[in-house]
């Protein structure tokens, strides 16, 4: 019996598309329902990426 989420040729790609759309819908729902919390998550992620870039820069600088 075939799964409803597969098209017979490449079922993994169909499943990936479905899961991607579910994730996008969840993010949109979360941003609409809790915008302050969503902004906090984005702010934290940006801060973490900045800290990582600064640490990488310090590491590369110490190699020279």
Q: What is the pLDDT of residue 11?
A: 77
End-to-end CA, the chain: 62
Both structure tokens of 53: 């870039």
Q: What is the pLDDT of residue 49?
A: 98
Q: What is the pLDDT of residue 1?
A: 46
Q: What is the pLDDT of residue 10?
A: 74
Look up the pTM and report it. 0.61
Distance CA 18, CA 34 (A): 24
Residues of the chain short of pLDDT 50, as ranges, are 1
* Alpha-carbon torsion, ordered 13, 17, 23, 26, to 10 deg: -150
The domain locations on the chain are: 11-63
DSSP conformation class of 8: S
Q: What is the pLDDT of residue 60?
A: 96
Distance CA 29, CA 49 (A): 25
């Amino acid at each position: 019996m075939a799964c409803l989420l597969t098209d017979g040729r490449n079922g993994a790609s169909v499943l990936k598309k479905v899961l991607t759309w579910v994730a996008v819908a969840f993010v949109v729902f979360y941003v609409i329902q809790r915008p302050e919390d969503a902004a906090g998550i984005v702010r934290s992620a940006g801060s973490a990426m900045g800290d990582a870039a600064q640490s990488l820069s310090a590491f590369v600088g110490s190699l020279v």
